[in-house]
Amino acid sequence: MFDFALALGDDALIAAQRLGEWTSRAPEMEEDIALANIALDQLGAARLLLTYAGELEGAGRDEDALAYLRGDREFRNCLLVELPNGDFAVTMAKLFFLAAYQLPLYTALSGCADERLAAIGAKARKESAYHLDHGSLWVKRLGDGTDESHRRMQDAVDQVWPYTHELFTADPAAPVDPATLRADFDAVVSAVLDEATLTRPADGWAPGGGRAGVHTEHLSYLLAEMQVLHRAHPGAKW
Amino acid sequence: MPGQHGMTERTPLWEVFVRARRGLSHTHVGSLHAPDAELALRNARDLYTRRQEGVSIWVVPASAITASSPDEKDAFFDPAADKVYRHPTFYEVPDGVAHL
């Protein structure tokens, strides 16, 4: 249960950190605000999940200790969220795939036996629905847009696709077995890719290891930036 | 990289009208840029209703709005005040008429 809450919390935390990098750099002011909103939604879910994970662990670690005082080998997030932002299309592909996984996950979680996880799932589900909507809209617009936007969106989908398989690794002991979410994910993704005139990539290479703490080279750089203040000034308060 | 070249081609301008939670009518709250109506709605939700102050949003392309001209203000809004029969002031409003 601790591992499960930690993994979901880490997914949301790292996704929030990546989305936050767009702040003041998005193509338009309106999109800048939308991405910041989504980042803050993810951060809110991360805080709830990490706080609960800390309580389950019972070792006195609060949300800040878990966020700021772990090395990359101790993080349990999926590789998808730690990938660099790339261009706008890559960011949208990542957001779309993440939301298409988080929405059925949180929905299933909202009906699970653990009261705290059910409450977190019920709250996060509404936000995920909006994230999915936002990601889908842009995937469709870029895919079915100009030749250049279509090319970039297809490249982005091809680039990110291998990292989606890790999300659905079976875990029968978890409150929600990720393997049960695959059909829902596939249905949503196929419909959007079709409408976007994009080709669903073939399944092949399926990198994994994030859930076991084995990450890409990108995570330690992200953590160095995210944790520098807290490590330099432990317990600093604004 | 986005944002490095200063001027990019802007998407169209939209005017946003929001009806407040307990409001009776939509009120103009501002404008925004978006590539199409669907995204204009999403952007309006982010920019203008984050505190749940709205229950309904209208977006209209700014180009679809025709405004009265400031130069014609007198003719438009100041009809001769000496012709009292022009003004609907000769009847009582019954009690119980709502929202007038």
A29, A133, A141 member nearest B35 (Cβ):
A141
In Å, what is the CA distance from A26 to each residue of A22, A87, A226, B2?
6, 10, 20, 6
CB–CB of A141 and B8 under 8 A?
no
pTM of the complete model? 0.87
Classified as helix, coil or strand, A189 is: helix
Q: How confident is the model at residue B71 (pLDDT cuts 50, 70, 90)?
A: confident
pLDDT at residue B2, as a whole number: 47
Does residue B8 carry a pLDDT above 60?
no
Percent of chain B with pLDDT over 70: 72
Does residue B3 carry a pLDDT above 50?
no
Listed in sequence order, the residues at least 6 apart from A72 whose beta carbon sits closer than 8 Å to its beta carbon are A213, A215, A219, A220, A223
Chain A contact set for B8 (CB, 8 A)? 27
**Closest residue on chain A to B50 (Cα):** A37
Report pLDDT digits (tens) over A170-182: 999 999 999 999 9
DSSP A110: T
Report pLDDT digits (tens) over A31-45: 999 999 999 999 999
Query: Average pLDDT, whole number, for chain A?
Result: 96
Range list of H helices, chain A: 2-20, 29-57, 63-68, 79-82, 88-109, 115-143, 147-160, 182-195, 218-232
A24, A34, A133 member nearest B43 (Cβ):
A34
The predicted model gives A6-30 an average pLDDT of 96
pLDDT at residue B7, as a whole number: 47
B52 touches chain A (CB under 8 A): no
CB–CB of B46 and A25 under 8 A?
no
- B26-33 and B54-61 beta bridge pairing: unpaired
The predicted model gives A4-14 an average pLDDT of 98
Q: How confident is the model at residue B34 (pLDDT cuts 50, 70, 90)?
A: very high
Report pLDDT digits (tens) over A203-212: 999 999 999 9
Q: How confident is the model at residue B47 (pLDDT cuts 50, 70, 90)?
A: confident
Q: How confident is the model at residue B6 (pLDDT cuts 50, 70, 90)?
A: very low
Chain B contact set for A31 (CB, 8 A)? 43
**Lowest mean pLDDT segment, chosen from A179-193, A218-232, B85-99:** B85-99
* Cα–Cα distance for residue pair A62/B50, rounded to 1 Å: 29
Q: With contact defined as beta carbons under 8 Å apart, do A96 and A139 qualify? A: yes
Transcribe A98-109 into DSSP letters: HHHHHHHHHHHH
Q: B96 or A69: whose pLDDT is higher?
A: A69
pLDDT at residue B70, as a whole number: 77
CB–CB of A30 and B8 under 8 A?
no
Percent of chain A with pLDDT over 70: 100
Angstroms from B83 CA to nearest CA on chain A: 50
Query: Average pLDDT, whole number, for chain B?
Result: 81
**Lowest mean pLDDT segment, chosen from A24-28, A135-139, A192-196:** A24-28
The predicted model gives B83-100 an average pLDDT of 76
pLDDT at residue B51, as a whole number: 66
**Lowest mean pLDDT segment, chosen from A40-44, A218-222, B71-75:** B71-75
* Range A229-232, long-range pairs (CB < 8 A, 24+ positions): A230/A64, A230/A67, A230/A68, A230/A69, A231/A68, A231/A69
In Å, what is the CA distance from A10 to each residue of A39, A63, A71, A214, B50?
13, 11, 12, 13, 26
B57 touches chain A (CB under 8 A): no
Q: With contact defined as beta carbons under 8 Å apart, do A164 and A101 qualify? A: yes
pLDDT at residue B68, as a whole number: 85
What is the torsion angle, in degrees rounded to the nearest 10, for the CA atoms of residue A148, residue A154, residue A159 and residue A163?
140
pLDDT at residue A237, as a whole number: 81
The predicted model gives B1-23 an average pLDDT of 74
In Å, what is the CA distance from A166 to each residue of A89, A98, A199, B6?
21, 11, 20, 39
The predicted model gives B45-62 an average pLDDT of 85
pLDDT at residue B1, as a whole number: 43
DSSP B96: T
Q: How confident is the model at residue B81 (pLDDT cuts 50, 70, 90)?
A: low
